[in-house]
Chain A
Amino acid sequence: MTDLLFLLEVSLAGLGSGALLSLTALAFVLIYKATRVINLAVGEILMLGSYLFFAFAAGMGLSVWLALPLAVAGGALTGAVVERGLIRPMLGESPISVFMVTVGLGSVLIGLVELIWGTDPRSLPPFIANTPVFLGEAYVSRKILVAFLVAAAVMAAFMLLFRYWRGGVALRATATDQAAAYSCGINVPGVFSAAWTVGCGIAAGAGVLLGAIGGISPSMGVFGLSALVVVIVGGLDSILGALIGGLALGLIQSWAGTYLGGEYQGVVTFGLLIVALMVRPYGLFGTHEIERL
């Protein structure tokens, strides 16, 4: 086994976990694009999604193929309720207040999950086969590959939707100029609702994938923080940024973990974030509209 092969395998693993980051980042981007809210509770919605899947698949004994859409729907429903109940009344408040509302929401979700399912770490019922995949000679974990493919498909679908579908265009219009969008007859509150619903649904789906790989626990929401780094680096309102940022961060984390040691992953991630904020605060692909002084 050559070192080059090793590097290749490490990179593939990095890309795989990067795809999960991208998927989670997509949830941030959708919500931010429509409502200008950084939803720090995305990580907790993700956690909730994995627990819902656990409840449906392991608790109620449903087939995983039924449990998966139900979990996504549960996440989406949570998103819709949160948008209507907490975010809409906060319209026009400072972004910081809304941000803190989502922080509080995250805490509430963690507490509720602990109340219902307890705090023990659990494993999800296996639904991705365990046989390894070899691309050429390089080993890839099948779960990671599945995560990568799902994430890629979802991202591609959303990029196409944004380009060609009416709803996607409506969202982009709202993101560009709310007042103008209103006057063109776009149902702006509807767009808000839709963005939160879809965004939280995606997060829940990502949670199921994540849980299938690493097991679930109430504290798994911290994954959201890494995804937050992705969107800051990639640009808060850019799907392309989320995709490329996620893959890049996955790669960098993987390389850092391999060649420096696992303890360097966090510091490299957040170091990158600081550098990105200093150099390009609007992100690599984000809209250049940050007020600078």
Chain B
Amino acid sequence: MFSLTRRRVTGLMAGVALVAGLGAAQAQEDDIVIGGSIPLTGVFAFAGVAIEAGMQDYITQVNEAGGIGGRNLRLAYEDTGYKVDQSVAVFNKLTSQDEIHLYYGDSTGFAKTIAPELNRMGGMIMGGASFASELNDPEEHPYMFMAGPDYSEMIAILMEYIAEETPGAKIVLVNSDTEFGRDPIESSRAKASELGLEIVEEIITPPTAVDVSTEVLKLRRARPDYTIFHGYILAPLPEFMTQAQQLGLETKFMGTFWSMDSSIWDSVGEPADGFMGVMPYRYYYDEEADAPTMAKIREMRPEYQATGYMQGYLSAMLMAESARRVLDQGQELTGTNLKAAMNTIQDFDTGGLIGIPISIPGNSVPVGRVYQYSAAEKKMQPVSDWITVTE
């Protein structure tokens, strides 16, 4: 076998060199393409579907207004099922089909996997559904951004609010035993001691937890003023809150962005009343006067749009804005230029999607507001002003 193949192999090596020239040149279209690994199915589908809608709507809006420098935006995306290897497959597929300078990625795992490739290529910036604190590091991840505060900053916003309302409050942190859940624990401890808050208990729940009775008992023993959940979408929060109410616990429950969609709480009903959390954007039904973007969204979509929609919308807005600034300066669309342009975004008006003008000093938009769910109105209602955290 060996002598035979070896002979053939040497012969073929010559042929190989010929074929090497066949690097396929991609047809250059005029569109500015935003690539996307978006989870339309899988555990994160509820967000992915909304994100896609939000991005599409913003893109349509830009294109109707003449595009960016006469060039249309286009979203090229495929489903990932929220699995890292598929996200990477989609990334490779899209980048070999189109020239892509802007990308939307779906998970922390994907962002971390693709980061070295991004740094090597240097041709694009990437936003996404992950708010992992680790990605909010302009040194390590120069081409990443997130359209909101990272998870640590979300907890920090909640704590700023708590410190304002109840100085010296006792807090319990409940985190799921996943990368997502464990993300902000360290920084939360630091933030709490900085603000003079006391963390009286840290509860880690296994990802498969069904019954939370023992955790609720721990909660009762700790008697916190506030309980902050992170690393969950919905379950097991409702059961937690129901049991705590049964026990007559006074604690207030809080969550982070991905568990803040009001439609998921509608199905929970009464026990959800009073649930609070941090949300970087306005809700669909928030009808404050200074929000032309929100009015526009309501005009385009007559029915409720989830929080993921706003996230996708803002992501597309920041991408488009960066591209516009780069092109206005007559520069090339490269990762470095795009990111530099994005960092020049100062006191930028989102049209009310976020209530205050935003700036992007690093990789994140460290702004958010505390909302509270009202079961009677089936709505999230703001209970704080917009809070900006700075490192």
Contacts and interface: CB of A to CB of B under 8 A. Distances in A.
A262 B206 contact: yes
B390 interface: no
Nearest to A122: B267
Contact of B221 (A6, A143, A214, A265): A6
A102 interface: no
Contact of A214 (B45, B210, B216, B267): B210
B268 interface: yes
A219 interface: yes
Interface string B214-229: 1111101100000000
Of B42, B208, B247, the most chain A CB neighbours within 10 A belong to: B208
B260 to A, nearest CB: 15
A123 B217 contact: no
Interface string B99-120: 0000000000000000000000
B239 A9 contact: no
Contact of A215 (B41, B46, B238): B238
A14 B243 CA distance: 15
A118 interface: yes
A261 B204 contact: yes
A193 interface: no
A228 to B, nearest CB: 13
A263 B206 CA distance: 5
A139 B217 contact: yes
Interface string B25-46: 0000000000000000111011
Interface string A77-108: 00000000000000000000000000000000
A262 B213 contact: no
Interface string A271-290: 00000000000000000000
Contacts of A210: 210
A262 B243 contact: no
Given A9-B217, A123-B267, A263-B177, A213 B247 contact: no
Of B209, B213, B247, the most chain A CB neighbours within 10 A belong to: B213
B238 A123 contact: yes
A141 B268 contact: no
A229 to B, nearest CB: 12
Contacts of B204: 261-263
Given A119-B41, A120-B46, A10 B267 contact: no
B235 A215 contact: yes
B236 A17 contact: no
Interface in A101-150: 114, 118-123, 126, 130-132, 139-144
B235 A14 contact: no
Interface string A132-170: 100000011111100000000000000000000000000
Contact of B213 (A120, A144, A217): A144
| Interface of chain A: mostly helix, strand, loop or mixed | helix
B236 A215 contact: yes
A131 B246 contact: yes
A199 interface: no
A27 to B, nearest CB: 16
A214 B43 contact: no
A130 B242 contact: yes
Contact of B214 (A14, A143, A215, A217): A14
A119 to B, nearest CB: 5
A13 B214 contact: yes
Nearest to B182: A263
Nearest to A12: B213
Contacts of B235: 121, 214-215, 217
Given A215-B234, A262-B205, A132 B247 contact: yes
B203 interface: yes
Of B45, B214, B220, the most chain A CB neighbours within 10 A belong to: B214
Contacts of B217: 6, 9-10, 13, 139, 258
A131 B42 CA distance: 35
A222 B208 contact: yes
Given A119-B43, A263-B177, A258 B238 contact: no
Given A119-B46, A213-B239, A214-B236, A13 B213 contact: yes
B186 interface: no
A64 to B, nearest CB: 15
A262 B238 contact: no
A5 B239 CA distance: 22
Contacts of A143: 239
B211 interface: yes
A258 B218 contact: yes
A144 B213 CA distance: 8
A16 interface: yes
A223 interface: yes
List of 7 A-B pairs having minimum Cβ-Cβ separation, nearest first: A13-B213, A214-B210, A132-B246, A215-B235, A17-B211, A262-B204, A263-B177
Interface of B: 41-43, 45-46, 177, 203-206, 208-218, 220-221, 233-236, 238-239, 242-243, 245-247, 264, 267-269, 271
27 contacts: A6-B217, A6-B221, A13-B217, A16-B211, A17-B211, A118-B45, A119-B42, A119-B43, A119-B46, A121-B235, A131-B246, A139-B217, A139-B246, A141-B211, A141-B213, A213-B210, A214-B211, A214-B239, A215-B236, A215-B238, A217-B235, A226-B208, A257-B215, A262-B209, A262-B215, A265-B209, A266-B208
